[in-house]
Amino acid sequence: MEKMRILLYSDGSEVGSLGVTLGKRIAKAAARAVDILATARTPERSEVSQQEIEATAADLREHGIPVTVYRRPGFMGQQLLRQADANDYDLIVVGSRGRKGLKRLLAGSRACAILGGAATSVLVVKRRAPEVIGDILVCSAAGPASAETVRFAARMAHALGASVTLLHVMSQVALEEGADEADLEAEADELMERHAREGVHLENMLQILRDEDVGAKAIVRHGLVVEEILAEARSGHFDMMIIGAHTTPDIAGLLSSDLSQRIMLAVKRPILIVHQE
């Protein structure tokens, strides 16, 4: 499996430590190199950040992973985007407050800015970093872009020794002429047995996961995409979610980006948004 170059962020806050904690665990399993960006804005936080960075760097180097530390003043979003623009990262890991209502939107605005501006996959860690990533929920749409999301998920799951639940949401309105109305209510196994369009897609995505020796199963929900994704996330005991984010500068791209941000703001667990060309 190809190893990743990962960027972690430390600012001496409890929120920043969420991303560092989980990012370090992932890096031990999946990184070829790690950069740490520090932008602490007070002397107290700077001291905490310094201790956190030293401990993290020492731990990763003991595992043979080279670490480079960058210290820059300024705002988190601006400095992370500058760092990402200047380097070729596979993954950025940041912490988020995971609040509710208006506070959630304000606290999530930094993460949203990074999602919208960085040409890199971003892992947003909320509330707490799980001790073990054992089950990952991966959301897939019936299109070629989903293959990028699933390939990234396969790399992550293989490195962490995790299994994958592959979720596809079926609209209850036929999207193409001649579509079989029975497919609109069918379960994943039925779709795959009948070789329906979505069934073929699910089989192909499962094969990508199996090729990486990742245990996986497919499930289908029916209804509105965001509502059904969030319902599945709340019903299971998933340790992480992975979704795709399109950055195409058109209406479809903007809608897709908005969906991924809405999901990111609503979920309470770590969520990885995979960058797609």
The pLDDT > 90 percentage for the chain reads: 50
More confident residue, 74 or 56: 56
Length of the chain as a residue count: 277
- Give the domains, in start order, of the chain with CATH numbers: 4-126 (3.40.50.620), 135-271 (3.40.50.620)
pLDDT in tens, 101-134: 444 444 455 566 666 556 789 999 987 778 889 9
Angle subtended by helix axes 101-117 and 251-266, to nearest 10: 130
pLDDT in tens, 17-51: 999 999 999 999 999 999 999 987 788 888 999 99
Which tokens hold the place of 155? Answer: 């790399």
